[in-house]
């Protein structure tokens, strides 16, 4: 069994639904999921075997959803060094927004990398123009991401 921390940023619920579907699948596979809604910087700085999965939509002009914006700001301000942390990112967006496409997911990815964390696999970007069922895209991506996790973090995936 492996442990995953989940952070879900959402405005209208699509990213939250994706996160719930992915969490259900990880639970079904026997893994443990812990949702981090507050105290993100403190929890991530603690030594842990948990792998972080950030699932977030983008709002405004490349902005973070309100429900994760202050946690993100605190993480950036406290800037804990996170070399023990491995993470993945599922970014929901809409490519018709042009340069701000999936901006919130990209911002989380860049901040975590700046803090010394290591991303597992590639960031998944789900375009609302291409699918009405983002959870299907995420669930199709998950096995490959878990394989990458097993290759990159064998001690953490079992």
Ligand X SMILES: Cc1cc2nc3c(=O)[nH]c(=O)nc-3n(C[C@H](O)[C@H](O)[C@H](O)COP(=O)(O)O)c2cc1C
Residues forming the site for ligand X (CB under 6 A)? 10-16, 57-62, 65, 92-94, 97, 100-103, 128
| Distance separating alpha carbons of residues 102 and 10, to the nearest angstrom | 12
Contact between residue 94 and residue 127 where contact means Cβ atoms under 8 Å apart: yes
**Least distance to ligand X, CB of residue 111, Å:** 17
**Least distance to ligand X, CB of residue 47, Å:** 31
**Least distance to ligand X, CB of residue 30, Å:** 27
Residue 85 or 92 with smaller CB distance to ligand X: 92
Helices 134-152 and 14-28: angle between axes, nearest 10 degrees: 50
- Closest by CA position to 122, among listed 142, 145, 100, 143: 145
Question: Whose CB is nearest to ligand X?
Answer: 93
Residue 58 or 86 with smaller CB distance to ligand X: 58
**Least distance to ligand X, CB of residue 126, Å:** 7
Residue 100 or 152 with smaller CB distance to ligand X: 100
Contact between residue 61 and residue 55 where contact means Cβ atoms under 8 Å apart: no
Tokens of 64: 């973070």
CA dihedral of 74, 112, 37, 106, whole degrees rounded to 10: 100
Residue 2 or 56 with smaller CB distance to ligand X: 56
């Amino acid at each position: 069994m492996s442990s995953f921390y989940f952070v879900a940023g959402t405005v209208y619920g699509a990213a939250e639904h994706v996160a719930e579907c992915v969490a259900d699948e990880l639970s079904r596979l026997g893994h443990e999921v812990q949702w981090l809604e507050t105290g993100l910087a403190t929890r991530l700085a603690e030594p842990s075997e948990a792998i972080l999965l950030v699932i977030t939509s983008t709002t405004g002009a490349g902005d973070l959803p309100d429900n994760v914006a202050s946690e993100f700001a605190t993480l950036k301000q406290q800037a804990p060094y996170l070399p023990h942390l491995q993470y993945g990112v599922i970014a929901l967006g809409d490519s018709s927004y042009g340069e701000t496409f999936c901006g919130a997911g990209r911002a989380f990815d860049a901040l975590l990398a700046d803090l010394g964390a290591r991303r597992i696999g590639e960031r998944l970007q789900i375009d609302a123009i291409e699918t009405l069922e983002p959870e299907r895209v995420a669930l199709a991506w998950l096995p490959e991401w878990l394989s990458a996790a097993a290759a990159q973090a064998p001690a953490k995936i079992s």
